[in-house]
Amino acid sequence: MSLASDAHFWDRTSRRYAKGTIADPAAYEHTLDRTRALLLPDDRVLELGCGTGTTAFRLAGDVRDYLATDFSTEMIAIARERYAVDLVPNLAFRSATAETLAAECGQFDAVLGFNYLHLVRDLPATLDNIHTLLASRGVFISKTPCVGDMNPLVRLLLLPAMRAVGLAPYAGTFSAAELSRHIVAAGFELLSAENHASASNDNRPYIVARKR
C-alpha cells in the first residue's frame, strides 16, 4: 500500500462518498459552530482532506480566503462541480496535501484537518508541514478518529480485513494521548481537546492547537 493506492481508493469511492450522510449531525453542527468562533473575518484558512467540500462551503463565508484541498482528484472534481452551482467568491479547491503545499510557508492563519490525520502515513512529517504552513501564532484545528482508543477488534481485526478486500483505506491507529503528544512535538501549544459527540465519546477529539 502507498500514497498512490490511498488516493486511488478515494478516487474510486468518491461518488458514493458524496452521496453519504453525516452520522452525527448534531456533533457536526457543534464542530462547525466551535470552528467559526475560532476563525476571524480576515483569516486565510487552509482545509486539508476536504473531501467533496461540504465543510468548506459551510465555513468559507466567514473568512477572507479559504483554500480547500484533498489528495483525491476525483473528490476535488466533485467539489468543483458543486462550486459551479454554489459560487463562494473567496473559496478555492485544489488537489494537494500538506507535503505538496509546504513551500507556501507562513501563508495561513488557520489550518483545518477534519477526519484527516488518521489517514496520513507519516503523522510527524504531516504535522511538521502543517506547522510550516501556519503564520506566526496560527491555529491548527483537528477532529479525527483515534482508532487506538476504540474497541481492539476494530483495530486488530475489522480494519485489516476491510483493507485486505479494498473496502477501507490506510488508517493510523494512534490514541488521543499519542496524537496530542505528536502535535506538541511538532511545535504546537495545545489549547483544548473536546468531545463533540451528541451521545457518548466517539473517540474523535476536537483539538485546537496554536503554533509556538
115 exposed, middle or buried (CB, 10 Å; 0-12, 13-18, 19+)? middle
Is 3-211 in CATH node 3.40.50.150? yes
Q: What is the pLDDT of residue 1?
A: 57
Amino acid at 208: V
Statement: residue 92 has pLDDT above 60: yes
Does residue 164 carry a pLDDT above 80?
A: no
Overall size of the chain counted in residues: 212
Query: How many C-beta neighbours within 10 Å does residue 98 have?
Result: 25
Domain ranges in the chain are 3-211
What CA–CA distance (Å, rounded) separates 90 from 73?
Answer: 21
pLDDT class for 160, splitting at 50, 70, 90? Answer: confident
The pLDDT tens digits for 70-87 are: 999 999 999 999 999 989
Contact 137, 108 (CB under 8 A): no
Contact 194, 205 (CB under 8 A): yes
